[in-house]
Each structure stands twice: as C-alpha cells, then as structure tokens.
C-alpha cells in the first residue's frame, strides 16, 4: 500500500516570509513545527532546498534544542513523574494503567495520535506525589483510574 505524500504547502508561506532573512533557522523550524506538529523529514528536506541551508545543519539545530520534535506527537501530552517520591507512591501503576487503557507506551503515542506519554523525573512538587501533567494541567496525588477517566474525556 502506497503511503500518501505529505502536504508541504504550509512551507511555501513560511519560506516566503523568511526569504530575505539569512540564517533564520530557528524561527523557520518553529513555524514549520507549528504547521505540522513536529518536524517531518520531508519538511526538513524541503526547507533545506528552499533556503540553501544544509539538511545536516537543520537536523543539528532540530536535535540540539528540546523545543523541536522529529516525531509526531499526540494531541495531548501526558507527562508522568517517576522521580523518587512519585515512584514510591505508585507512578509505575499510573504508567501501566495508561499503557493498558489508552494503548500508549512511555515515549510513544497511541495509534490515533490522541495521546503521547513521557516519563519525567521530578516536577518539583514531590509533596503532591504521584503527579501527572496533562498538557498544562497538573494532577497531584492522582491514581491510575481517575487519571485515565480524565484523559478519556479529552477530545
Ligand atoms: S518526584 Fe515527582 S514531583 Fe518530585
């Protein structure tokens, strides 16, 4: 089965906006990531072609800065803390519960790209352990079933 080609049309406008700005690598990558949700290989190659900036330089910048993603992410990002305090208070159960109920592994996304899950190590609020952060919302002293219920309510 053929994989449909990616629609790179959003790049036309971005490249046009920066055509007179030499070395605007970061803003170009930021705009491209806004357009696609991540930086697909095809987009990086098209940016390279359109700007004359080498693909290796673009990859170098994209991998250096934590703000850039080279893989597609789900619409909702679930960060589960597995720092010491959260680990002791059951973070592993939360991770397992999410894996099972929503079909998403740590560091990955579900097949529909609704959720992505990341494991983080201490969010600086150990008194609220175990903690998960969904998009920008903090769930303190949470437990697996309650968190999953909240996640399933998301669009
Ligand atoms: S260990 Fe989870 S907030 Fe500190």
pLDDT tens, position by position, 105-134: 999 999 999 999 999 999 999 999 999 999
- The verdict on 60 and 80 lying in the same domain is no
- Predicted pLDDT at 37: 86
19/34 Cα distance (integer angstroms): 18
Neighbours of 28 (CB within 10 A): 22
Q: Which of 80, 90, 94, 126 to mutate to test the pocket of ligand 1 (most atoms within 8 A of CB)?
A: 126
Residue 149 domain boundaries? 76-153
83 ligand 1 Cβ < 6 A: yes
- The verdict on 108 and 131 lying in the same domain is yes
Q: Within a domain: residue 5?
A: no
- Strands ordered across the beta sheet of 115-120: 115-120, 76-81, 132-134, 137-139
- The verdict on 110 and 60 lying in the same domain is no
- The verdict on 86 and 147 lying in the same domain is yes
Judge whether residue 1 has pLDDT over 70: no
8-state DSSP, 89: T
Q: Within a domain: residue 1?
A: no
**C-alpha 150 – ligand 1 centre gap (Å):** 21
- The verdict on 54 and 97 lying in the same domain is no
**C-alpha 37 – ligand 1 centre gap (Å):** 28
85 ligand 1 Cβ < 6 A: yes
Confirm if 60 and 70 have CB atoms less than 8 A apart.
no
Q: Quickly list H helices, 37-141.
A: 41-51, 55-64, 84-88, 91-102
- The verdict on 55 and 80 lying in the same domain is no
What ligand 1 atom has the least distance to the C-alpha of 125?
A: 3
Q: ω before 130 within 30° of 0 (cis)?
A: yes
**C-alpha 82 – ligand 1 centre gap (Å):** 7
- Predicted pLDDT at 23: 82
Confirm if 70 and 62 have CB atoms less than 8 A apart.
yes
- The verdict on 81 and 14 lying in the same domain is no
119: domain CATH number is 3.40.30.10
- The verdict on 111 and 135 lying in the same domain is yes
- Predicted pLDDT at 151: 96
**Number of domains, the chain:** 2
């Amino acid at each position: 089965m053929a994989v449909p080609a990616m629609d790179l049309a959003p790049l036309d406008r971005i490249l046009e906006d920066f055509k007179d700005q030499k070395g605007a690598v970061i803003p170009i990558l930021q705009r491209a990531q806004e357009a696609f949700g991540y930086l697909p290989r095809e987009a990086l190659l098209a940016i390279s072609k359109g700007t004359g900036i080498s693909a290796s330089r673009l990859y170098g910048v994209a991998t250096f800065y934590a703000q850039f993603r080279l893989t597609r992410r789900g619409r909702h990002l679930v960060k589960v803390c597995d720092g010491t305090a959260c680990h002791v208070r059951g973070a592993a159960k939360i991770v397992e519960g999410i894996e099972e109920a929503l079909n998403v592994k740590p560091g990955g996304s579900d097949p529909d790209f609704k959720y992505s899950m990341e494991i983080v190590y201490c969010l600086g609020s150990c008194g609220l352990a175990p903690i998960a952060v969904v998009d920008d919302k903090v769930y303190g002293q949470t437990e697996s079933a309650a968190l999953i219920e909240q996640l399933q309510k998301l669009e």
